[in-house]
Amino acid sequence: MVLPRDFVDAALRVLIAVALAIDAVVHLKLAYYYQIAAPGGIGQGNLFWIEAGAAILAGLYVFFRGSRPAYAAALIVTFGGVAAVLLYRYVDVPAFGPFPAMYEPVWFFEKSLSAVAEAAGAVLAAVGLFRKRPAHLHTGAQTLAR
């Protein structure tokens, strides 16, 4: 069974937006607790709020627009998130500049959920970014350039 391109594009956009929503909710839920450790500095909680904001913006962008830049933004946010969680899970990176040491050598439900959502979102965003685009999704400028 071959699915219409419009359906595939819509499903891809929804799945990426859901992955980014999971990422955002987990980071928003945990941000307060991580910020307690460094109330005066940048703190991990503030970084979590920034990650949540980036995930929300990228999720809305890819959901409503579905353009190559939207997929690229989603890929940057999701891949960056999963890379950070894996780095700080397995490597004891010391504090540097304004960034705190965030080594946390354990897995727990929220952390695992966020990592899986980010990894799935990164794969889906890469698929969206690098797949062949339907002709009707090109802008007028791209169509004229052909």
Per the model's pLDDT, the better-predicted residue between 144 and 83 turns out to be 83
Residues 34 and 114: beta-carbon distance below 8 Å: no
142 located within any domain: no
50-100 per-position pLDDT tens digit: 999 999 999 999 999 999 999 999 999 999 999 999 999 999 999 887 788
Question: 67 in a domain, yes or no?
Answer: yes
Q: Tokens 């897995």 correspond to what residue?
A: 107
Residue 66 domain-assigned? yes
Kindly state whether residue 65 falls inside one of the protein's structural domains: yes
DSSP secondary-structure letter at 36?
Answer: T
Question: Which residue segment(s) compose the domain that 66 sits in?
Answer: 5-133
Residue 139 lies in a domain: no
| In a domain? residue 145 | no
Which residue shows structure tokens 């797949």? 131
pLDDT at 25 over 90: yes
Instruction: Determine the 3-state secondary structure of 71 from DSSP.
Output: helix
Per residue in 32-46, pLDDT (tens digit) is: 988 876 666 688 899
Instruction: Let me know: does 137 contact 9? Beta carbons within 8 Å.
Output: yes
pTM: 0.86
State both tokens at 93: 């990176």
In a domain, 18, yes or no: yes
Question: What is the total count of domains within the chain?
Answer: 1
Q: Which residues pair with 96 in a beta bridge?
A: 99
Domain assignment present for residue 99? The answer is: yes
d(CA 78, CA 27): 13
